[in-house]
Structure 1
């Protein structure tokens, strides 16, 4: 554990999910593959669809609706729906197909192998402080064994703009009935997690990705209060 700023009183902890509590890269890779296969098999006219086609549709949506990226689930659903409309499916059938595709996506998105260290660490921390999850993504902790550790989960889109915007940070403090300065946010991203938390008045812990060096990282606009390389290091704060 490395300290960059004086650490004040901690009355609660908030956590990013993806790549903070588990390795999200293989999860997303597999989910994208399975999601594409589902769409390709859903209708004969979609069998040649590729992920690059979805990316183009997503980009087109963002150009016409710039704020849609805050809700990654709705953004994906709309892209799938548009793909189905583009091949001649009716609006009714495309809406049903997009919902089915998102159910399939959610199933694969929640097949996450959570390290035992994460369970042990969250269990220990939850015995001392209330814990909250704040995510820009669409992972559902209750579906992969982490739900019981958190008082509540905030997701970009339904609960405000995505990090580093302060919407969800302030909402977490409001729901916890705590000043932001007594909350420690833990995350792997120096912009969305560290800078976002500090700018709204929280304390920040950076969980350092493997081989990353804060002094050599372009995203290090604001120093975290503490840096760790393993989640279990947080138990030393108890």
Structure 2
């Protein structure tokens, strides 16, 4: 790949930290909050039933598919209404969920690699999720964070990638998008005209075989620090 990379866009979930442990915890924490503050809701909607309700709310609001936070608030309010609790408690219930959602444990290499990359190039976060870098404590390493809820459409829509490039002040072909998801990150960024880097961590891609013949990522690494090493080796002349 031509190393003329001037900026990085970076996925968050499953690129900087694994999402599965978060996804498992947040439902339990939310239910415990409901059991304490909205016991009728907790009794009527244990974990499995709350998931069913959330799927129904999602189906009712396809125009909000990019906005996980709003959909969860709507689900909580509906559950409370149906159970006879005060739907005004949906917001504090959401905040209990959201605090846990932002309690992340980064991959061992991630923070050091992020620091190295951000010292060399501007980095912008592009995420379909609702993580908050300021709450997590990583905001200082990013030029900005662009979420699907803010943009109005989720990856792999090319618009979210192009919007990030515009905010970075760089043409798409000078921006490298880095992420774990083949469709959302690599193919989506490729369609938008960005360079691409596939991070195929062992926990998600134990046998990292690229499945598409028509397009390949410009770069592929098992860790983020391997990308940082590549940037150090190939962009050193630009920094000197």
- The two structures share one fold, judged by TM-score above 0.5: yes
Q: How big is the shift at 1:120?
A: 1.3
Q: How big is the shift at 1:221?
A: 6.8
Considering Cα pairs closer than 8 Å and 6+ residues apart, tell me whether 1 or 2 has the greater RCO: 1
- Other-structure match for 1:237: 231
Q: How big is the shift at 1:8?
A: 4.8
TM-score, reference length from structure 2: 0.88
| 2:13 aligned to which of 18, 30, 36 | 18
- Other-structure match for 1:3: none
- Other-structure match for 2:39: 44
- Other-structure match for 2:74: 78
Residues 19-56 of structure 1: per-residue CA shift (max 9 Å, x gap): 10112211221112111221232223123222222222
* Whole-angstrom CA distance in 1 between matches of 2:52 and 2:25: 20
> Hey, which bits of structure 1, 4+ residues long, moved more than 3 A?
219-222
Q: How big is the shift at 1:72?
A: 0.6
CA pair 130-75 structure 1, distance change in 2 beyond 3 A: same
> Is 1:172 matched with 2:164?
yes
Q: How big is the shift at 1:225?
A: 1.0
Report how many aligned residue pairs link the two structures: 227
Q: Output the aligned Cα RMSD.
A: 1.7
Residues 119-160 of structure 1: per-residue CA shift (max 9 Å, x gap): 211111111110000111111112222111000001111222
TM-score, reference length from structure 1: 0.89
More off after superposition, 157-166 vs 53-62: 53-62
Unaligned ranges ≥5, structure 1: 1-5
CA pair 220-34 structure 1, distance change in 2 beyond 3 A: farther
CA pair 221-82 structure 1, distance change in 2 beyond 3 A: farther
Unaligned ranges ≥5, structure 2: 233-240
